[in-house]
Amino acid sequence: ATENIALITLFGAAGDLAHRKLYPSLFKLYQKGYLADHFALLGTSRREKSDEEFQALVADSIKDIKETKAGEAAAFAKHFFYQAHDVTKPEHYDVLKDRLAELDQQFVTKGNRLFYMSVAPQFFGVIAMNIKKQGLLTDEGYNRLIMEKPFGRDFASAKELNDELSQTFEENQIFRIDHYLGKEMVQNIQALRFGNTIIESLWNNRYIDNIQVTLSEKLGVEERAGYYDNSGALRDMVQNHIMQVVAQLAMEQPVSFTDSDVRVEKIKALRSLRVYTPSEAASNFVRGQYDAGADTPAYRDADGVPADSATETFVAAKLLFDNYRWSGVPFYVRTGKKLADKFTRIDVVFKKPLIDIFANPRMTSDQSLKSNVLTIYVEPESGFALRVNAKSTGQGFKTEPVDLKFLQSAAEKKEAPEPYERLFHDALEGNHTNFASWAEIAYSWKFVDVVRKLWDIEEPQFPNYAPGSMGPAASDELLARDGRAWIYKL
């Protein structure tokens, strides 16, 4: 492992995300030797805390991770410092500036500064502005900004935010987190496609019939109701995670596997995604909201949700790319809460052979060949399966589908870094491959905005699906209309 040299400033250091994901990820990087002597983190949030109290908080967040050497967790916590700070007060940044200068000296971080915004998105702009105005940037090492989602509420607000950020940071200094891009099997899409002739040579409209992406959640809205009701599945899942996964599936082969070459191709793919007219959006998008179940309340009865909420907890859609590779191949996507199970998978459905010679009536067979399907299991299992037709054992001649399947073992899964660990590592190394660029975000908002506007004016018929199902009936009809069906069904 190459040791990274960095001084991290974390805004939102007392927050939930920092405690659950960020400190544990940094600790894993520390254990693996990616961070060692020359790193320090200055945590900030509103409340006063001493460095020792903060170090205790960090120690608590990593207490479940096994040490690889005695005293490791304590040594790690010694790299953490704290400064009470209100992000909206320019004068508060003066103190930060001094402390950063001290820590830079103390840990010899060579002016490498990484600013991580793990606060509510309304603060993203003001923080970036003050980082520059109050002189927190260095001109010695690098200046980088990592930011959490959401990136805007629509194209206009996203652009406004991006304009604010770009007063301080160049595009190649900004790392926008989309944690789906940190998932092992989402990254594996590229290996699978561009490392295998037998896959990439079939990866087009001559051989693929349709592609299906499902991001299914079992939980309801739980404690995040206030945030969620203001957002909905379209903004919370489709605009970012689904569009990023779809871009990886649809992109052309990059010239090389570098972040800049990969970016170019993802942007091109999203540029060729057909932006619907409102009436096309109405027929190609389905929304849903969950009803009450036997022992669970309906979305509208959840704490913090208005009784007449029109927020969607489910979206299904048909996406079309207007380019040579994908013309005529629908990408069906769906995501929702309170569905049958928690999983993410991709099903690539291939065309059937043009002629089914086994369906010859003289063979007295009532069978028909099934489509080949390449399933990419993103989570909870990681792996893939290729469904092929084979002869069933025995007298006569019948075919049956069998799966060529590879799943990561439990041991491999345990070893695999969590998304935040990977993404932190990539940002420390300055690698943008697994982050969303502004252009990608802009295209996906423009695509989503049409649907959002339509849904904001039309009253939905909610609730319309039962907990534990796979969403409203209209989601199945979306495919049935095209003579197709979801590969994963109950």
Instruction: Just list the catalytic residues.
Output: 241
CB of 89 to ligand NAD, least distance (A): 8
Contact between 61 and ligand NAD by CB under 6 A: the answer reads no
DSSP output for 136-180: ---SSS-EEEEEPSP--SSHHHHHHHHHHHTTT--GGGEEE--GG
- Measured between its terminal Cα atoms, the distance across the chain in Å is 45
Q: How far apart are CA 133 and CA 90, in angstroms?
A: 8
Per CB under 6 A, contacts with ligand NAD among 144-173 are: 148-149
Contact between 95 and ligand NAD by CB under 6 A: the answer reads no
Q: How many residues bind ligand NAD (CB under 6 A)?
A: 19
Between 37 and 222, CB nearer to ligand NAD: 222
Q: How far apart are CA 162 and CA 150, in angstroms?
A: 12
Q: Report in angstroms the alpha-carbon separations of 343 from 23, 131, 379, 382.
A: 26, 39, 5, 10
Q: Tell me the per-residue interface mask from 97 to 136 with ligand NAD, x by CB under 6 A, - otherwise.
A: ---------------------xxxx---------------
Contact between 221 and ligand NAD by CB under 6 A: the answer reads no
Q: How far apart are CA 404 and CA 384, in angstroms?
A: 8
For the chain, helix, strand, coil in percent to 5 are 40, 20, 40
CB of 14 to ligand NAD, least distance (A): 4
Sign (positive or negative) of CA dihedral 153, 156, 158, 164: negative
The amino acid present at 478, given as its one-letter code, is L
Contact between 83 and ligand NAD by CB under 6 A: the answer reads no
CB of 88 to ligand NAD, least distance (A): 5
Contact between 230 and ligand NAD by CB under 6 A: the answer reads no
Between 57 and 270, CB nearer to ligand NAD: 57
DSSP output for 213-258: EEEE--S--GGGHHHHHTTHHIIIIIIIIIHHHHHHHHPPPPSSSS
Contact between 251 and ligand NAD by CB under 6 A: the answer reads no
Contact between 219 and ligand NAD by CB under 6 A: the answer reads no
The amino acid present at 6, given as its one-letter code, is A
CB of 117 to ligand NAD, least distance (A): 7
Between 223 and 400, CB nearer to ligand NAD: 223
Between 235 and 387, CB nearer to ligand NAD: 235
Contact between 183 and ligand NAD by CB under 6 A: the answer reads no
Per CB under 6 A, contacts with ligand NAD among 4-33 are: 12-18
CB of 129 to ligand NAD, least distance (A): 14
* Residue nearest to ligand NAD according to CB distances in the complex: 15
Q: Report in angstroms the alpha-carbon separations of 215 from 58, 243, 248.
A: 32, 12, 15
The footprint of ligand NAD (CB under 6 A) covers 12-18, 45-46, 85-88, 118-121, 148-149
